[in-house]
Structure 1
Amino acid sequence: MADTETLDDLVRRVDPDRWLASRFIGDAAARADVVALYGLNYELARVAGGVSNALMGEIRLTWWREAMEEIAAGKTPRKHPNVEALAAARFDPNALALLAEARLADLDEGPLRDEAAVLAYVDATAGALAVLAARRLDAGADPHAVKGAARAWGLSGLWRLKQSGRSRLPEAWTRADLAQKVEDQLKAARGEVRGLPVAAFPAVAPAALARAYMAGREMGDLEKKARLTFATATGRL
């Protein structure tokens, strides 16, 4: 993060889809908190690709976990823009620490072994992130209402990770296989999100882009904005 770059600027650069969805959050304080959450997700997700061995990755993830645990204990937050933003945000720091813990799985060699392992990983990462964002936007948001949407988005993210050369998917899975699994999760999500408060919908809105990503489509910002606007306006993915 450059000295002159704000946290919002960072998330816009490194996680543009979630950042675009956050523009539909009307409350400025809530939007800032969710952006800080997405900043944490970026910091955790990039660890595995930025270290030469698992031990170094574990050290970095432990730094973030302990930073969140210190916030939970009421200690002065560490001097890091994202840590300080999360210390001021309305999240349970212990839940944030669990996000760091879940990313230890990124340090394992080889792909996830089967569908159950893939879904468990997605639920602990993209799923937990969506739950935290949804509950920050509306404290009454039901975690089950974001499950399918978060899974669809997380699975499509694993496909994009594979395209970058860092696959965690079972070796036998083809794009067609994964596209069907994403479609199944989106089908489940259509019913689930009906129970999601309108204010919390931006937490799951990125899933509206999952189908296009699985089709191998390159979307510009205008198309992404249109898809996200339609999803948010209609409550449909």
Structure 2
Amino acid sequence: MADTETLDDLVRRVDPDRWLASRFIADPAARADVIALYGFNYELARVAGGVSNALMGEIRLTWWREAMEEIAAGKPPRKHPNVEAIAASGIDPLALATLVEARFDDLDEAPPADEGRALAYVDGTAGALAVLAARRLDPSADPHAVKGAARAYGLAGLWRLKLAGRSRLPEDWTQADLARRVADQLKVARRELKGLPVAAFPAVAPAALAGAYARGRDPGELEKKARLTWSVATGLI
């Protein structure tokens, strides 16, 4: 993060889908908190790709976990823009410490052995992130209402990661396998999302892009904006 780059600028650069969806959050304070959450997720997600061995990754992830535990204990936040933003937010730091724990799986060179483990990883990362964002936007949001949407977007994201050489999917999955599973999760999501409060919908709106990603297509910015606008306006993905 450059000295002149704000947290919002960072998320716009490294997580453009979620950043675009956050533009539909009307309340500035809630939007800032969700951006802090997405920035935190980026810091965790990039650990595995930025270290030369698992021990260094464990040290970095432990730093983030301890930073969240210190906030929960009432201690001053560590001097890091994202830690300070989290400390000032309405997001539970202990829930973020749990999100850190899920990221230790990133340091395992072996990909998940089967679908169950792959979905557990997605639920602990993209799923937990969506739940935290949804509950910040509406405390009454049911975690089960976001599960399918988060799985669809999370699985599609893992396929893109696999193409970049860092697989967190079972080795025998083909793109067709992945696309079928994403389509199945989107069907589930369309039923679940009927119970999600309108205010919380930006937390799951990026799932509207999951089908295209799973089919190997990266929508351009204009298409992304159109899909996300339609999704938020209709409450559908």
- Please say whether Structure 1 and Structure 2 have the same fold, judged by a TM-score greater than 0.5: yes
Q: Distance in 2 between matches of 1:109 and 1:213?
A: 24
Separation in 1, partners of 2:89, 2:197:
21
Separation in 1, partners of 2:222, 2:119: 31
Per-residue CA deviation, residues 139-172 of structure 1 (Å, 9 max, x unaligned), is: 0000000000000010001000011111121111
Percent identity of equivalent pairs: 80
Provide the alpha-carbon RMSD of the alignment: 0.5
Counterpart residue number, 1:56: 56
**Following TM superposition, where does structure 1 have runs of at least 4 consecutive aligned residues deviating by more than 4 angstroms?**
none
Cα distance per residue 1:193-222 (max 9 Å; x no partner): 000000000000000000011111131111
User: Does residue 199 in structure 1 map to residue 162 in structure 2?
Assistant: no
Letter in 2 for 1:219: P
| One-letter amino acid of the structure 1 residue matched with residue 236 of structure 2 | R
Could you list the per-position Cα deviations for residues 32-84 of structure 1 after superposition, in whole angstroms to 9, with x for gaps in the alignment?
00000000000000000000000000000000000000000000000000000
Gaps spanning 5+ residues in structure 2: where?
none
CA distance in 2, matches of 1:101, 1:5: 28
Cα distance between partner residues in 2 of 1:171 and 1:62: 28
Residue 13 of structure 1 deviates from its aligned partner by: 0.2
Distance 2:129 2:29 in 1: 18
CA distance in 2, matches of 1:119, 1:200: 23
Do residues 170 (structure 1) and 175 (structure 2) align?
Answer: no
- Distance in 2 (CA, whole Å) between partners of 1:168 and 1:229 is 30
Aligned to 1:223: 223
* Alignment-derived partner of residue 143 in structure 2: 143
Give the AA of the match of 1:225: K
Q: TM-score, normalised by structure 1?
A: 0.99
**Structure 1 portions without partners, runs of 5+:** none
Q: Name the structure 1 match of 2:117.
A: 117
Which residue identity is paired with 1:122?
V
Output the amino acid matched with 1:135.
R
- How far apart, CA to CA, are the structure 1 residues paired with 2:232 and 2:81? 30
Aligned with 1:157: secondary structure? Answer: helix
Figure out how many residues of one structure are paired with residues of the other and give that number: 237
Q: Indicate yes or no: 2:118 matched with 1:89.
A: no
Counterpart code for 1:82 = N
TM-score, normalised via structure 2 length: 0.99
AA aligned to 2:70 is E
